[in-house]
């Protein structure tokens, strides 16, 4: 699909009611707007408008990962049990999220739910010396997780694309520096996709190699986590580590904190040498000694993010997308009432926008104004441009902001400059 399309060309239709078996608000809205299709519980397909929105989120994340030096790869879903046995993550007793399958000869395979093991193994072919490090490697890759329940729409599904980035550092200091850079890049991502103000870097449980990990939690009633937030200090603590000891370390008191429901939109982990050691990944340091790199892993689920945006920014009329996320920037709506001059004027503006590479969905359908407006509200494109007999007479076009409903009248040239 190009960047300027006619609504009459779109194969998707909106619908008044969501399917009765769909309980989550994000999926209800996304299905009604024709952004996604439910295949079965916890499994959705992306339709044209949904895929465009999803890809915009992916591109924001990609830009920020590239900005910190990330290199993009795409690893296989099918997993060799051998390497997962080494880290004791193959057994269903140890990891209960596996989907498993098998080759015709009966060899068991897994469908990857994360990629520490295969990436550490892969890096053995490319890392020899301290000169080869540090490195940041990431992918947008389809994960499979055998969720027992899946009732949160696109926020928790059995098959989903995850951006997972992995860092390989020579020293703890270098790792700590990368970890901070990634944390900062995550904050930029959440800000760009419009949920920065309600998203908090949150202390969560660590592991053997670090006391804490960090989650990025967005306040929403659709969330599954409980966190304690200090909006003033801009920090939060997951209830799993909400103890007097941790409060003292973080430097907040219970009085500063508010209990909130939130959804985890990203997480960052220090992995220490666990996976690199298990896979035999080593490098020669400046003294020529074999050394194990320190790894970190950093995840964001773009679909989870899209669901959270839908949950938190939508209103009772429908979806409301921030500029960087919206499937189109402009929604050009013609109210021609059979007036050919009005139709021609809208057509002309559409072609001018198309020519200029402006992202626009043009509602050229032969339906009533009330239906066009209801659909435009449901689709949630940020800026609506209305072309009607009134605008034709005045020589100005009505520009309506979806988020606020505020309306202004602008000259044609202003549509192209923005």
Which residues of the chain form contacts with a second copy (CB under 8 A)? 1-2, 9-13, 15, 34, 37, 39-40, 43-48, 51, 54, 66, 69-80, 96, 99-104, 109, 111, 118, 122-123, 125-127, 132, 135, 137, 142, 144, 146, 148, 158-159
Half-sphere exposure of 271 (CA within 13 A, CB side): 25
Q: Would you say 42 or 223 has its CB closer to a second copy?
A: 42
The interaxial angle of helices 25-32 and 302-313, nearest 10 deg, is: 90
Count of other CB atoms within 10 angstroms of residue 7: 19
- The least CB distance from residue 136 to a second copy, in Å, is 9
Residue whose C-alpha is closest to residue 365's, from 1, 9, 3, 4 = 9
398 contacts: CB under 8 Å, gap ≥ 6: 385, 386, 388, 390, 391, 407, 408, 409
Q: Can you tell me which residue has the tokens 């402006």?
A: 358
Q: Would you say 82 or 249 has its CB closer to a second copy?
A: 82
- The least CB distance from residue 353 to a second copy, in Å, is 17
Handedness of CA 236, 265, 99, 111 (dihedral sign): negative
- The least CB distance from residue 146 to a second copy, in Å, is 6
- The least CB distance from residue 59 to a second copy, in Å, is 13
Count of other CB atoms within 10 angstroms of residue 412: 15
Q: Would you say 122 or 403 has its CB closer to a second copy?
A: 122
Phi, psi for 216 (deg, rounded to 5)? -110, 115
Q: Would you say 140 or 203 has its CB closer to a second copy?
A: 140
Q: Would you say 151 or 390 has its CB closer to a second copy?
A: 151
- The least CB distance from residue 95 to a second copy, in Å, is 13
Contact 302, 164 (CB under 8 A): no
- The least CB distance from residue 114 to a second copy, in Å, is 14
Q: Would you say 53 or 238 has its CB closer to a second copy?
A: 53
């Amino acid at each position: 699909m190009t960047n300027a399309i006619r609504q009459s060309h779109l194969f998707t239709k909106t619908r008044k009611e969501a399917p009765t078996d769909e309980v989550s608000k994000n999926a209800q809205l996304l299905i009604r707007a024709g952004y996604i299709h439910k295949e079965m519980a916890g499994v959705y397909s992306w339709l044209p408008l949904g895929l465009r929105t999803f890809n915009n989120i992916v591109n924001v994340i990609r830009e920020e990962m590239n900005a910190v030096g990330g290199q993009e790869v795409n690893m296989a879903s099918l997993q060799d049990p051998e390497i997962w046995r080494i880290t004791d993550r193959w057994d269903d007793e140890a990891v209960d999220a596996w989907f498993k399958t098998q080759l015709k000869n009966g060899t068991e395979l897994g469908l990857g739910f994360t990629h520490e093991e295969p990436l550490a193994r892969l890096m053995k072919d490319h890392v020899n010396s301290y000169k080869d490090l540090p490195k940041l490697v990431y992918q947008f890759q389809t994960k499979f997780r055998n969720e027992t329940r899946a009732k949160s729409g696109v926020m928790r599904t059995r098959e989903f694309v995850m951006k997972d980035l992995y860092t390989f550092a020579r020293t703890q200091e270098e790792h700590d520096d990368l970890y901070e850079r990634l944390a900062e890049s995550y904050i930029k991502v959440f800000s760009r996709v419009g949920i920065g103000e309600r998203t908090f870097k949150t202390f969560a449980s660590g592991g053997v190699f670090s006391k804490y990990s960090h989650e990025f939690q967005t306040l929403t009633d659709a969330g599954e986590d409980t966190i304690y937030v200090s909006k003033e200090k801009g920090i939060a603590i997951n209830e799993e580590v909400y103890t007097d000891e941790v409060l003292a370390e973080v430097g907040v008191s219970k009085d500063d904190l508010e209990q909130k429901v939130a959804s985890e939109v990203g997480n960052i982990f220090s992995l220490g040498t666990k996976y690199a050691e298990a896979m035999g990944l080593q490098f020669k340091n400046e003294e020529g000694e074999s050394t194990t790199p320190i790894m970190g892993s950093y995840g964001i689920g773009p679909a989870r993010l899209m669901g959270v945006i839908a949950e938190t920014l939508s209103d009772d009329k429908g979806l409301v997308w921030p500029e960087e996320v919206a499937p189109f920037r402009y929604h050009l709506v013609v109210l021609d009432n059979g007036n050919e001059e009005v139709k021609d004027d809208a057509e002309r503006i559409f072609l001018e926008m198309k020519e200029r590479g402006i992202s626009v969905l043009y509602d050229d359908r032969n339906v009533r104004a009330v239906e066009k407006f209801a659909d435009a509200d449901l689709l949630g494109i940020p800026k609506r441009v209305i072309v009607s007999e009134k605008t034709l007479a005045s020589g100005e076009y009505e520009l309506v902001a979806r988020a606020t409903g505020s309306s202004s009248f602008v000259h044609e040239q202003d549509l192209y400059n923005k």
